[in-house]
Structure 1
Amino acid sequence: MEVDHHPADLGRHGKQYRGILESVARLGEFFLPSGRRSFLRAVGILRRDDLQGDEHGRKILRIRLSIAVGMVQVEQNQHREFLRQGGRHIEQDGRQGGRCPAGMVLRHLERRVLLPVPERGGPDRRSEPEPALRVRRDQEDALLKRRGATKRGRSCTALCLAAGLLVFLAGCFKMAVPVKEPTPVILWPEPPEIPRIHFVNAVSRPEDMGIGNGAFRNFLRYLAGKADTPMVNPHGVTVDAEGRVYVVDHFLRKIHVYDPRGKRYSAFPGKEAALLSPIGVAVDDKRGRVYVSDSAAGAVKVFTKDGGNPAGEIRGGEMGRPTGVAIHAAKDELLVVDTIHSGILRFSLADHRLKGIIGKEGNEEGRFHSPTHIAVSRAGNILVTDSLNYRVQVFDPEGRFLRGFGAPGDGPGTFSRPKGVAVDSDENIYVVDALFANVQVFDKEGRLLMAFGKHGQGFGEFWLPSGIFIDGRDRVFVSDSYNKRVQIFQYMKGGELPQ
């Protein structure tokens, strides 16, 4: 974040405005469910350890901490004086034709609400604010012993403070309205060749898919603990019959659900069905179930499609480390890649009974060495990324070996770290390579057609991509894991240019 001599001059620095609001939101979200002791301890840790940067960085952090301590003051019914004094300060500056420089706001906040926390092992050597308002052990214990408000009461109080803070800031700053830049036209291959792949969008948060509540409503949702969560480490991805996009977030251990038609975002599961290490996701539209592989738990967790509620799990002695999952609708089966045992488990979707296993350890045709991802073509063929054999193997619907292609290397048509695999409506096969940071496209016989993407952070560029899925409209969804997003592309059958 760029910071100049007026770090809180939000009219000039929209990014800093959002940063401060997000900090308030996170602190509010932390405060509401966690209780006063954790909150006060967190404020103390931040005050001691985080104010070590340059002067401008310290100013921004002190503003954020001041707002945090303001929340504690609300619990002490002191917020009215805080807001009244702040409003008077801003009003006086406005009469003078000023623009509310950051230093003025900072000095006022420090005088009124900033609580210095002594360093361990010695007295606090910083200058004491006027008037001094310190939280010592006896004061903190007194705060903790007095009856706290209910969760609903704390929520209402925090929301009132949020509204007050917005009014407080509005008298000083003009909110910058973000303007969405037009999506660039990016094609592969480049002209004068006939284009086959067209970049559509990059999604890291609901707003990227046209799902949003507006800035003010989103801010209140943050404080109420209902914040829309951006992606952190996307992996598996799939799309259901209604066009809802499901993205496994390996870091957050949740499934993001984006519903562009219904303009809704949700995430599951909750704490009652927490995942340990989710990898793959698949949707059974017929029964309304979502299957998520949890590699650390050695199980596939089952959830309802509507609401993401727990609906059972699939585990057993045959399952070691489940990773990729796929639905074989024609066979009414769930296919699960077991990376540890180097096999593909076939479960009945009706009763989750194990029906059989495809392959075993080895490097011969039809055998695997640490397989990871799986896909089912429209013809019913099964495609498996055989990662440590550096190839993709293709099986018929009954699990009989058909063909394989690929080899280790660093050139076109070879693989270095093959990941996700998918098939479009023309039976072309797409293979993600994390180390190459691209997607290679082969025909159904395994002959290389083209590749798109390269290492980077721009549109159409990847940083350790992983999962891939192609929906019924030939939209290609690629999990761009370290760029914290899913990129969407369109396969153009006849080379038609995008409108």
Structure 2
Amino acid sequence: MKIIPKINITVTAILLLVISFASCRVFTSAKNTESEKIIYPSPPDTARIQFLTSISSSEDISGKQSKFKKFIFGEEKPLQILKPFGVYFGEGKIYVCDIALKALEIIDLKNNKFDLFKPSGKGVLKLPLGCFVDGSGNIYVADGNRRQIIIFDKNGKYINAFGETKNYKPTAVFVADGKIWAANVKNHAVHVYDKKTCKFLFKFPQANVSKNAYLNQPVFLNVTENEVFVSDFGDFKIKIYDKKGKYLRSVGTYGKLPGQFTRPKGIATDKDGNLFVADAAFENVQMFNSKGKLLMHFGGPGGGKGNMSLPAGIFVNYDDLDYFEKFTDSDYNLKYLIIVTNQYGPEKLGIYGRIELKNGK
């Protein structure tokens, strides 16, 4: 009979204990405590948005490495988000386009994992600006330097890449209605492709359109049930089209007053038709109703909690509230989440919540 030395039993037990603790760990970011709730607008007005917390490195997901784990496994340097741009948030995972690392950070909140997705070969990323994940878990990346949309399966395996050789620099991608929608900043248009075949279908606006319909520098887009919202960085407006590319209306003008834009970037909408616009110059997010009326803004310049530093991407999430409800003010219910990327500053991903008083006011 083979006898296992006692020292091996001890080491094995220790390793199993460490692994057990790691697998049971819960998302532990605690950058915003009960005593420092940050809400917008400030009292005495009724709060509508609350800054919940932020994520900037793997330590915000799994916590700092313990001395015990450092002794057993050696020192592990935390993974840092460097320069985030586009973002997608769904099914318990946050996908971040990091243009400094030429990679995606994939944050798995359910399993407390923070991975750097940096493929090689056919799937290599050169300037990942926008990303989207479809219902099958396939990942779509708009790469400005490759001039392509690159597709990976849910396990990160390369599937396909497509694009155009001239006047093509995709900055954002969205998948809806069996189509792939891409903002092309070089050709002043949104290009639409068949999801199954990746073949080009049409683009909009067409040539010789009105000044209002023309896209100067389309950098972000958002597709809803009936409309396509495009952030026109070069014309300081958010332009809205129907799904055939017909121009409908716009939100905002150039200027420094509330409701105006100077450097509009990321856009998102909620289920009520409200529009969120991140402005890199104002370093805030403005919220408009479905008719384009300014409702409020949140964020602001500076290094304090809840503030923003060159914000870029934004995404609205209704399905993963459980991970962030513990940060919500006890007097409020959390309706949905708003995630904003900051290209500079200490807090690279700001997580905000749309909140409502529990008494329904």
Same fold (TM over 0.5): yes
Aligned counterpart, 1:376: 223
Q: How much does 1:255 deviate?
A: 0.3
Distance (whole Å) between structure 2 residues aligned to residue 470 and residue 309 of structure 1: 27
After superposition, the Cα gap between the structure-2 partners of 1:219 and 1:429, relative to the gap in structure 1 and judged at 3 Å, is farther
After superposition, the Cα gap between the structure-2 partners of 1:181 and 1:480, relative to the gap in structure 1 and judged at 3 Å, is closer
Distance (whole Å) between structure 1 residues aligned to residue 145 and residue 210 of structure 2: 26
Q: In the alignment, is the contact (CA less than 8 A) between 1:341 and 1:360 conserved in 2?
A: no
Aligned counterpart, 2:172: 324
Aligned counterpart, 1:302: 151
Q: In the alignment, is the contact (CA less than 8 A) between 1:211 and 1:260 conserved in 2?
A: no
Q: Deviations over 1:27-79 (max 9, x none)?
A: xxxxxxxxxxxxxxxxxxxxxxxxxxxxxxxxxxxxxxxxxxxxxxxxxxxxx
Q: How much does 1:407 deviate?
A: 0.8
Q: Deviations over 1:382-429 (max 9, x none)?
A: 100011111001122333222112111011011100000000121100
Q: How much does 1:277 deviate?
A: 1.2
Aligned counterpart, 1:41: none
The equivalences for 1:36-185 within 5 A come to: 180=30, 182-183=32-33, 184-185=36-37
What is the SS of the residue equivalent to 1:209? helix
Query: Is 1:190 the equivalent of 2:52?
Result: no
> Does 1 or 2 have the higher relative contact order (CA < 8 Å, sep 6+)?
2
Aligned counterpart, 2:352: 489
Q: Deviations over 1:332-366 (max 9, x none)?
A: 11110000100001111112111111215776232
Distance (whole Å) between structure 1 residues aligned to residue 154 and residue 48 of structure 2: 33
Aligned counterpart, 2:111: 262
Q: In the alignment, is the contact (CA less than 8 A) between 2:339 and 2:351 conserved in 1?
A: yes
Aligned counterpart, 1:396: 242
After superposition, the Cα gap between the structure-2 partners of 1:213 and 1:360, relative to the gap in structure 1 and judged at 3 Å, is farther
Moved more, 348-357 or 435-444: 348-357
Q: How much does 1:222 deviate?
A: 7.7
Gap regions ≥5 residues in structure 1: 1-177
Q: How much does 1:475 deviate?
A: 0.6
Q: In the alignment, is the contact (CA less than 8 A) between 2:50 and 2:353 conserved in 1?
A: yes
Q: How much does 1:200 deviate?
A: 1.0
Aligned counterpart, 1:283: 133
Q: In the alignment, is the contact (CA less than 8 A) between 2:317 and 2:338 conserved in 1?
A: yes
Aligned counterpart, 2:97: 248
Q: TM-score, normalised by structure 2?
A: 0.80
Query: Is 1:365 the equivalent of 2:196?
Result: no
Query: Is 1:449 the equivalent of 2:299?
Result: no
Aligned match for 1:238, one of 88, 94, 104: 88
User: How many residues of Structure 1 are paired with residues of Structure 2 in the alignment?
Assistant: 311
Q: How much does 1:315 deviate?
A: 1.4
Q: TM-score, normalised by structure 1?
A: 0.58
Q: How much does 1:206 deviate?
A: 2.4
Distance (whole Å) between structure 1 residues aligned to residue 290 and residue 148 of structure 2: 32
What is the SS of the residue equivalent to 2:344? helix
Q: Percent identity?
A: 27
After superposition, the Cα gap between the structure-2 partners of 1:181 and 1:440, relative to the gap in structure 1 and judged at 3 Å, is closer
Greater helix share, structure number: 1
Q: In the alignment, is the contact (CA less than 8 A) between 1:343 and 1:357 conserved in 2?
A: yes
Q: In the alignment, is the contact (CA less than 8 A) between 1:238 and 1:283 conserved in 2?
A: yes
Q: In the alignment, is the contact (CA less than 8 A) between 2:312 and 2:343 conserved in 1?
A: yes
Distance (whole Å) between structure 1 residues aligned to residue 59 and residue 315 of structure 2: 21
Aligned counterpart, 1:155: none
Q: In the alignment, is the contact (CA less than 8 A) between 1:228 and 1:265 conserved in 2?
A: no
